[in-house]
Amino acid sequence: MTYLPQHPGFTRRTALQAGSIGLLGLGMNHVSALRAHAAEAGSVPAVKSVIYIFLSGGLAQHESFDMKPTAPDTIRGEFVPISTATAGLQICEHLPMLAQRSNKWSLLRSLTHPYQEHSQGHMVMLSGRTQLPPTFNASKPTPLDWPSIAAIAGDRTQPRNNLPPAVILPEHLIHRTGRVIPGQLAGIMGDRRNP
């Protein structure tokens, strides 16, 4: 029998708002003021989609989204930062179309985890959970792994226009040794929910 965890019925926006309160160091005494402000501002349309980009071994942050133009030559990249549509945000000169649309995406620069082994880090970054599952195996995914963000989103989202609700493109992350990297599948949610 496959164990299917029950996820609370709240929107991604609500989850992000709740998580952001902790990041900002706000206590419960601030929550009611934030809710009152949100009510005054009117309702905000629900989020319809999320694109989670995870580049394992991808482009360097200091040469793309977290440029360090005032850092020493030995640290900063060779590319020039350009302004975006968002005040105070600069990204690489080679990403001008993203810069023009910065009001349509979010940039997180402060994600971290305590692990030094890449497969453990992948599990954290792809599942959103810092604690590794009890049966974690760095060599392969297991049926008792935490579900990936894509698997959860796919489970909670209806397909649109004959497209699946969640996908991994262009393929699953494969280690240079040929093994599938854990953290990107449905794990305890069951194979039928694999993205």
Quick one: pLDDT band at residue 193, thresholds 50, 70, 90?
Answer: very high
Alpha-carbon span 195 to 182, nearest angstrom:
13
What are the φ and ψ backbone dihedral angles of 163, each rounded to 5 degrees? Answer: -105, 145
Quick one: pLDDT band at residue 66, thresholds 50, 70, 90?
Answer: confident
Residue-wise pLDDT tens digits, 118-148: 899 999 999 999 999 999 999 999 999 999 9
Output the average pLDDT for the chain: 80
Residue-wise pLDDT tens digits, 89-123: 999 999 999 999 999 988 877 778 899 888 999 99
Q: Which of 187, 186, 172 is nearest to 54 (CA)?
A: 172
Alpha-carbon span 16 to 10, nearest angstrom:
10
Structure-model confidence comparison of residues 19 and 167, the more confident one: 167
pLDDT in the model for residue 149: 92
Query: Cα angle at 143 between 152 and 167, to 5 degrees?
Result: 35
Chain-centroid distance, C-alpha 15: 13
Residue-wise pLDDT tens digits, 31-48: 555 566 566 666 666 666
What are the φ and ψ backbone dihedral angles of 91, each rounded to 5 degrees? Answer: -135, 180
pLDDT in the model for residue 54: 80
Residue 175 has pLDDT above 50, yes or no: yes
